[in-house]
């Protein structure tokens, strides 16, 4: 019982501190400490002793830092290049050029749709959702500036376009769609018929919801507020042509698709190409490049360490006895195996603050159980993928913290309502729809 109190209390404390604006580098370890103490974990390596096989027993400090450091080692170069790419796109005038072209041809009412679409294209093209936020932010700022929309909705637009109807859909090269494959013997297009319906449902509902929130804010007198750190180009400033300005974004997607055999390192090649092209497009602004690169590097460090802090919490949380009990309990849910699998992955993704983490932890344990119970592998694959993208986006999620704070410079208090509506509520409804469709058809 104590471990249950600690696990739920630690998660609630982490969410509360995050929403209150307490630095995640403090909130993460503090919440993990609560989980560790109530779970009976030794706090330091010298107190842990040895397991029967002679290996060191887990402890709070080592487990937290192992999760923290593993994410840093895996993703640092991608975060660094992604942040620099976003800064160069803004400073070069490329983002401004594209934004003005869109609003000139389509009207300012399409600024929100253009932001969402840019994220969706890059995400479905395989660019990591973390990097998409960096890559599109500069464009989003200019689109929202041209349309005079409140910038606190930029995180919601970025998140909605990245982690809902694209990330977990059939055919998506994002890891959240690929993890189930070796466990279920499926491919990336598993359950594609239902996936198309669910993706369309989430896209329409999510866009209608966030658009309504933006309209309501504008009607209440909210407008775009320029910051000193924004790249600001006067109307008569000579900018790169819109087609030329699009070249860096196209280059990132094109090189990434052509270098898929490099795995995640394809992102490094793609982003290096994008940075080089953005510098060429904005060569007239080359005097700013040293400061721009430095600003990008600083932003990358802040962003990745924020995410690492949440990953570290998840590493400790999964060692709690309550975590194992919760996983066992959901496997006993009566009815369709798909319901139990959806609940299991959703709950674990919420506890760890990670869609991929929820799948990685749950699938080795639940896949054999539900396959033995008669679940169709393709249906199970799609259900698990969609379900993983729901509660993972609670306020403590690493992507959410990074996008709201490090990338967009907003607070949870101002920006999370739109993020939560489109990336928690909408995917939960999408999961329910998928379960209904798989049951009926």
pLDDT tens for 4-28 read 899 889 989 988 998 888 888 899 8
Q: Evaluate if residue 56 carries a pLDDT over 80.
A: no
Model confidence at 311, pLDDT cuts 50, 70, 90, reads: confident
Model confidence at 434, pLDDT cuts 50, 70, 90, reads: very high
Least confident of 287-296, 329-338, 381-390: 329-338
Q: Evaluate if residue 204 carries a pLDDT over 90.
A: yes
The larger pLDDT score, comparing residue 335 to residue 193, is at: 193
Q: What is the mean pLDDT of the chain?
A: 85
Model confidence at 32, pLDDT cuts 50, 70, 90, reads: very high
Model confidence at 176, pLDDT cuts 50, 70, 90, reads: confident
Q: Evaluate if residue 260 carries a pLDDT over 90.
A: no
Residues 97-110 have a mean pLDDT of 74
Model confidence at 233, pLDDT cuts 50, 70, 90, reads: low
Least confident of 35-44, 93-102, 230-239, 340-349: 230-239
With 0-12 / 13-18 / 19 or more C-beta atoms within 10 angstroms meaning exposed / middle / buried, residue 356 is: middle
Contact 248, 94 (CB under 8 A): yes
Instruction: Tell me which range, 76-90, 212-226, 236-250, 287-301, is most confidently predicted by mean pLDDT.
Output: 212-226
Instruction: Tell me which range, 141-155, 206-220, 361-375, is most confidently predicted by mean pLDDT.
Output: 206-220
Distances (CA, A) of 31 to 62, 282, 353: 15, 44, 13
| Cα dihedral sign, 344-347-349-355 | positive
Looking at residue 50, its pLDDT comes to: 66
Q: Exposure pattern of 67-85 as b/e (b: 16+ CB <10 Å)? A: bbeebbeebebbbbbbbbb
Q: Evaluate if residue 324 carries a pLDDT over 90.
A: no
Task: Give the C-alpha separation, 309 to 302, whole Å.
Answer: 11
Q: What percentage of the chain carries pLDDT values higher than 70?
A: 95
Question: DSSP secondary-structure letter at 284?
Answer: G
Q: Tokens 């698709």 sit at which residue?
A: 257
Contact 414, 150 (CB under 8 A): no
Contact 93, 292 (CB under 8 A): no
Looking at residue 54, its pLDDT comes to: 62
Looking at residue 227, its pLDDT comes to: 84
Q: Evaluate if residue 352 carries a pLDDT over 80.
A: no
Residues 433-439 have a mean pLDDT of 94
Q: How many CB atoms lie within 10 A of CB 37?
A: 15
Q: What percentage of the chain carries pLDDT values higher than 90?
A: 28
Looking at residue 419, its pLDDT comes to: 96
Looking at residue 384, its pLDDT comes to: 93
Q: Evaluate if residue 194 carries a pLDDT over 90.
A: yes
Residues 273-298 have a mean pLDDT of 86
Task: Give the C-alpha separation, 414 to 395, whole Å.
Answer: 12
The larger pLDDT score, comparing residue 382 to residue 260, is at: 382
Q: Evaluate if residue 236 carries a pLDDT over 60.
A: no
Model confidence at 237, pLDDT cuts 50, 70, 90, reads: low
Looking at residue 65, its pLDDT comes to: 93
Residues 332-356 have a mean pLDDT of 83
Looking at residue 426, its pLDDT comes to: 96
Reported pTM: 0.80
Looking at residue 264, its pLDDT comes to: 67
Closest listed residue to residue 179, CA positions, set 351, 311, 366, 316: 366
Q: Evaluate if residue 265 carries a pLDDT over 90.
A: no
Looking at residue 64, its pLDDT comes to: 93
- In the chain, domain spans: 2-43+58-67+310-440, 74-176+186-302
């Amino acid at each position: 019982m104590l471990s249950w109190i600690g696990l739920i209390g630690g998660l609630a404390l982490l969410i509360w501190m995050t929403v209150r604006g307490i630095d995640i580098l403090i909130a993460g370890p503090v919440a993990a400490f609560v989980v560790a103490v109530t779970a009976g974990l030794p706090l330091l390596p010298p107190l842990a002793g040895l397991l029967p096989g002679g290996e060191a027993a887990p402890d709070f400090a080592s487990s937290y830092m192992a999760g923290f450091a593993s994410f840093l080692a895996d993703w640092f170069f991608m975060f660094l290049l992604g942040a620099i790419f976003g800064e160069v796109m803004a400073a070069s005038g490329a983002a401004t050029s594209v934004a003005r072209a869109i609003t000139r041809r389509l009207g300012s009412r399409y600024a929100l749709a253009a932001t969402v679409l840019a994220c969706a294209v890059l995400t479905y093209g395989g660019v990591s959702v973390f990097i998409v936020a960096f890559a599109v932010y500069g464009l989003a700022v200019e689109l929202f500036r041209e349309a005079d929309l409140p910038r606190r909705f930029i995180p919601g637009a970025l998140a909605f376009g990245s982690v809902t109807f694209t990330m977990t859909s059939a055919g998506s090269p994002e890891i959240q769609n690929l993890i189930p494959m070796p466990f279920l013997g499926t491919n990336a297009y598993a359950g594609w018929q239902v996936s198309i319906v669910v993706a369309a449902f989430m896209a329409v509902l999510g866009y209608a919801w966030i658009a309504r929130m933006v309209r309501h804010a504008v009607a209440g007198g909210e407008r775009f507020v320029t910051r000193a750190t924004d790249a600001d180009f006067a109307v008569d400033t000579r900018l790169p042509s819109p087609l030329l300005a699009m070249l860096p974004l196209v280059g990132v997607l094109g090189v990434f698709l052509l270098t898929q055999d490099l795995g995640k390192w394809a992102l490094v090649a793609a982003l290096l190409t994008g940075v080089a092209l953005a510098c060429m497009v904005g060569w007239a602004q080359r005097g700013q490049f040293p400061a721009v690169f430095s600003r990008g590097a600083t932003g990358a460090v802040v962003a990745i360490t924020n995410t690492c802090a949440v990953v570290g919490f998840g590493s400790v949380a999964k060692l709690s006895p309550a975590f194992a009990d919760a996983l066992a309990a959901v496997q006993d849910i009566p009815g369709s195996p798909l319901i139990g699998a959806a609940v299991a992955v959703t709950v674990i993704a919420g506890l760890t603050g990670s869609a991929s983490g929820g799948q990685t932890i749950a699938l080795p344990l639940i896949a054999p159980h539900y396959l033995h119970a008669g679940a169709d592998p393709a249906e199970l694959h799609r259900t698990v993928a969609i379900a993983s993208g729901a509660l993972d986006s609670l306020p403590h999620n690493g992507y959410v913290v990074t996008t709201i704070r490090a990338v967009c410079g907003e607070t949870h208090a101002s920006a999370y309502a739109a993020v939560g509506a489109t990336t928690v509520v909408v995917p939960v409804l999408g999961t329910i729809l998928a379960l209904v469709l798989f049951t009926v058809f």
